[in-house]
Homo-oligomer: A and B are copies of this chain.
Amino acid sequence: MSKCLLIYSGGMDSATLLWKLMSDGHEIETITFDYGQRHSAEIDCAQNMIEYIKNHNMNIRHDIVDVKPIFAHINNSALTNPKIIVPDCHYTEDVANITVVPNRNQILLSIAVGIAASRGINTVMYAAHSGDHCIYSDCRPEFLDSLNETTRISTLWHPVTIEAPFIHNTKADIVKIGLDLGVPYELTRSCYNAYKLSCGTCPTCIERKEAFELNNAIDPIQYKEN
Contact = CB atoms under 8 A, between A and B. Distances in A.
A137 B111 CA distance: 17
A113 B74 CA distance: 10
Contact of A157 (B66, B100, B110, B153): B100
Interface string A86-97: 000000000001
Interface in A135-154: 137-138, 140, 142-143, 146-147, 149-151, 153-154
A137 to B, nearest CB: 4
A57 B8 CA distance: 49
B73 A115 contact: yes
Contacts of A65: 69-70, 73
A180 B106 CA distance: 38
A179 interface: no
A101 B114 contact: yes
Interface string A138-178: 10101100110111011111101000000000000000000
A107 B155 CA distance: 12
Contacts of A104: 114
Looking at A31, A104, A107, A160, the one whose CB has the most chain B CB atoms below 10 A away is A107
Nearest to A70: B111
A143 to B, nearest CB: 5
Contact of A114 (B107, B118, B147, B150): B107
Nearest to A160: B103
A190 to B, nearest CB: 23
B102 A118 contact: yes
A67 interface: yes
Contact of A107 (B63, B68, B111): B111
A75 interface: yes
Nearest to A150: B146
A158 B142 CA distance: 18
Nearest to A139: B154
B105 A154 contact: yes
A166 to B, nearest CB: 19
5 contacts: A70-B114, A103-B111, A104-B114, A105-B154, A149-B149
